Structure 1
Amino acid sequence: MMQRFSNPVLIKELKLRFRNFKSFSGLMFYLILLFIFVGGFLSIFTQFTGTGFFKPDESFMMFTVVSILQMALAMFITPGVTAGAISSEREKQTLNILLTTTQSSTQIIIGKLLSSIAFLILLLVAGLPLYSIVFLFGGVSPTQLISIFLFYLLTIVAIGSIGIMFSTITKKTVVAMIATYGAMIFLGAVSAFLFFVGVILDDLTTIAPYSSGSSSVSSSPITYFWACINPFALMITSLYPELSIQLSELMGIDFPNWIVYIIFYSLITIICLFISIKKLRANMKHSR
Structure 2
Amino acid sequence: MKMNLNNPVLVKEIKLRFRSMKSFTGILFYLIAMSIFVFGYIFLTTTLSDSEFFRPEQSFLLFSMLSFIQLGLILFITPGLTAGAISTEREKQTLNILLTTSQSSFQIIAGKLTSSIAFLFHLLLAGLPIYSLVFLFGGISPSQLGLILAFSVLTMIAIGSIGIMFSTLIRKTIVSMIATYGMMIFFAGVTGFFFLIASEISRYAMGMPGGPQQPEILAHFWASINPVVLILTFLQPDMNQAFSDMTNIDFPIWAGYLIFYTLLTVVAIFIAVKKLRVNMKRKK
TM-score range, shorter chain: over 0.9
Q: Which amino acid aligns with 1:250?
A: M
**For the Cα contact (< 8 Å) 2:191–2:225, is it kept in 1?**
yes
1 CA distance for matches of 2:182 and 2:263?
19
Q: Partner of 1:86 in structure 2?
A: 86
Q: Partner of 1:34 in structure 2?
A: 34
1:283 Cα deviation (Å)?
Answer: 3.6
Q: Which amino acid aligns with 1:191?
A: T
RMSD (CA atoms): 2.0
After the TM superposition, which of the residue ranges 19-28 and 148-157 deviates more from structure 2? 19-28
Instruction: Pick closer, same or farther for the CA change 1:134–1:280 going to 2, 3 Å.
Output: same
1 CA distance for matches of 2:119 and 2:4?
24
Q: Partner of 2:255 in structure 1?
A: 259
1:81 Cα deviation (Å)?
Answer: 0.5
* Secondary structure of 2:47's aligned partner: coil
**For the Cα contact (< 8 Å) 2:4–2:10, is it kept in 1?**
no
What is the correspondence of 1:142-157 to structure 2 with a 5 Å cutoff? Answer: 142-157=142-157
* Unaligned residue ranges in structure 2 (runs of 5+): none
TM-score, length basis structure 2: 0.94
TM-score, length basis structure 1: 0.93
* Unaligned residue ranges in structure 1 (runs of 5+): none
After the TM superposition, which of the residue ranges 105-114 and 25-34 deviates more from structure 2? 25-34
* Secondary structure of 2:93's aligned partner: coil
* Secondary structure of 1:16's aligned partner: helix
* Secondary structure of 1:6's aligned partner: coil
Q: How many residue pairs are counted as aligned between the two chains?
A: 283
2 CA distance for matches of 1:27 and 1:130?
13
1:285 Cα deviation (Å)?
Answer: 4.6
**For the Cα contact (< 8 Å) 1:164–1:276, is it kept in 2?**
yes
Q: Partner of 1:244 in structure 2?
A: 240
Task: Deviation per CA, 1:84-110: give whole Å up to 9, x if none.
Answer: 100000011000000000100000000
2 CA distance for matches of 1:287 and 1:53?
65
- Among 203, 215, 218, the alignment partner of 1:219 is 215
Q: Partner of 2:71 in structure 1?
A: 71
Q: Partner of 2:224 in structure 1?
A: 228
Q: Partner of 1:43 in structure 2?
A: 43
**For the Cα contact (< 8 Å) 1:217–1:250, is it kept in 2?**
no
Q: Which amino acid aligns with 1:241?
A: P
Q: Which amino acid aligns with 1:78?
A: T
2 CA distance for matches of 1:115 and 1:33?
24
* Secondary structure of 1:115's aligned partner: helix
1:43 Cα deviation (Å)?
Answer: 1.9
**For the Cα contact (< 8 Å) 1:217–1:251, is it kept in 2?**
no
Q: Partner of 1:117 in structure 2?
A: 117
Instruction: Pick closer, same or farther for the CA change 1:105–1:245 going to 2, 3 Å.
Output: same
2 CA distance for matches of 1:126 and 1:237?
25
1:21 Cα deviation (Å)?
Answer: 1.9
Task: Deviation per CA, 1:250-272: give whole Å up to 9, x if none.
Answer: 10000011110000000110000
1 CA distance for matches of 2:153 and 2:3?
27
**For the Cα contact (< 8 Å) 2:96–2:280, is it kept in 1?**
no
Q: How high is the sequence identity, in percent, across the aligned residues?
A: 54
Q: Which amino acid aligns with 2:249?
A: I
User: Is 1:136 aligned to 2:132, yes or no?
Assistant: no
Q: Which amino acid aligns with 1:64?
A: S
2 CA distance for matches of 1:58 and 1:257?
26
Instruction: Pick closer, same or farther for the CA change 1:255–1:282 going to 2, 3 Å.
Output: same
Q: Which amino acid aligns with 2:52?
A: G
**For the Cα contact (< 8 Å) 1:165–1:276, is it kept in 2?**
yes
1:70 Cα deviation (Å)?
Answer: 0.4
1:28 Cα deviation (Å)?
Answer: 2.1
1:216 Cα deviation (Å)?
Answer: 4.4
**For the Cα contact (< 8 Å) 1:78–1:160, is it kept in 2?**
yes
Q: Which amino acid aligns with 1:9?
A: V
* Secondary structure of 1:75's aligned partner: helix
2 CA distance for matches of 1:17 and 1:65?
29
Q: Which amino acid aligns with 1:33?
A: A
2 CA distance for matches of 1:38 and 1:204?
45
* Secondary structure of 2:210's aligned partner: coil
